[in-house]
Amino acid sequence: MLNGRKTFSTGAHVSDRINVNATLDDKVANFVVPTDRPGYVAHDDWDNIGQRLSDSGSVEFQDFPVYERDFILPLAAPSDPPPVQATFNTPLIQLVFVNFYLGTAEGALAAALDYVSTTTRPWITSGVTRAGEDPYILERIGELQAALKASVALADVAAGIVETALAKGRSVTERERGEAALEAYAAKVSATHVALDVTAKVFELMGARATASHYGFDRYWRNVRTHTLHDPVFYKAREVGDFALNGRIPSVSLYS
């Protein structure tokens, strides 16, 4: 029987199956279980400023039965190193986060460009008849667009490097995995900063009226702000810096 609680779990209510890690006889167990089995309780308690549709409330297992067929890996001691190939889950997930942040930023900028073109009024001292001709707005759009394009390019390069390393299968080394992962983590640092910057600064392009609640433009920033706190980005930056200066690859963990 499994008993325990997780503070938040994405898709808790809507998923058919869920991945679970737990301790069993001082060893780590990895299994996948159906969410319609008695003893699984998904709480409707997600109340964060962003990711409101992610269904990420807390989950409890109350005398939840687990069967041998549910296990996806053999039991392992906490200190046992996992197969190198299996540890690619972390950089792959981090790349998913990267592209989520950048896609959100692209959506925010596209919405802002449409709003400026159709709704924003030129400032009284701008000397232009259309907001789309304001040199300050044009400069700011150019800066945000350039930063976003650069971060997208970095993400694409990182994805290619991780894919190449993963394609080596069981022959991939810890060093190769670590170096590939660091490319994903560098992209994560860039995407975090760029997405937060873009989703906040689009309001400077659109003007005060764009803050009206019925537009919902704040959803882009709220979603990025909430999700980028999933794991502290300064730890990713530290790992990238440690490799650049000292040649050390990050230790394998749930987040690195």
- Give residue for tokens 């894919």: 163
CA 211 to chain centre: 25
Q: Are residues 63 and 101 in the same domain?
A: no
Nearest to 252 by CA among 94, 91, 87, 97: 87
The stretch 201-214 carries a mean pLDDT of 97
Give the count of domains, the chain. Answer: 2
**CB-based contact 56:10 (threshold 8 Å):** yes
Q: Are residues 136 and 235 in the same domain?
A: yes
- Output the furthest CA–CA distance in the chain (Å, rounded): 75
User: What percent of the chain has a predicted confidence (pLDDT) above 70?
Assistant: 100
Rounded CA separation 116/128 (Å)? 14
| Confidence at 66, pLDDT banded by 50, 70, 90 | very high
Q: Are residues 112 and 221 in the same domain?
A: yes
Q: What per-residue confidence (pLDDT) applies to 80?
A: 82
Nearest to 231 by CA among 192, 175, 194: 192
The stretch 206-231 carries a mean pLDDT of 96
Q: Are residues 91 and 41 in the same domain?
A: no
Q: Are residues 59 and 90 in the same domain?
A: no
Nearest to 35 by CA among 54, 60, 72: 60
12 compared with 212, residue with greater pLDDT: 212
The stretch 156-174 carries a mean pLDDT of 97
Rounded CA separation 63/1 (Å)? 5
Q: What per-residue confidence (pLDDT) applies to 47?
A: 83
The string of DSSP letters for 140-186 reads HHHHHHHHHHHHHHHHHHHHHHHHHHHTTGGG--HHHHHHHHHHHHH
The stretch 138-162 carries a mean pLDDT of 98
Domain that holds residue 225: 84-246
The stretch 220-228 carries a mean pLDDT of 96
CATH number assigned to the domain comprising residue 50: 2.40.110.10
> Within a domain: residue 105?
yes
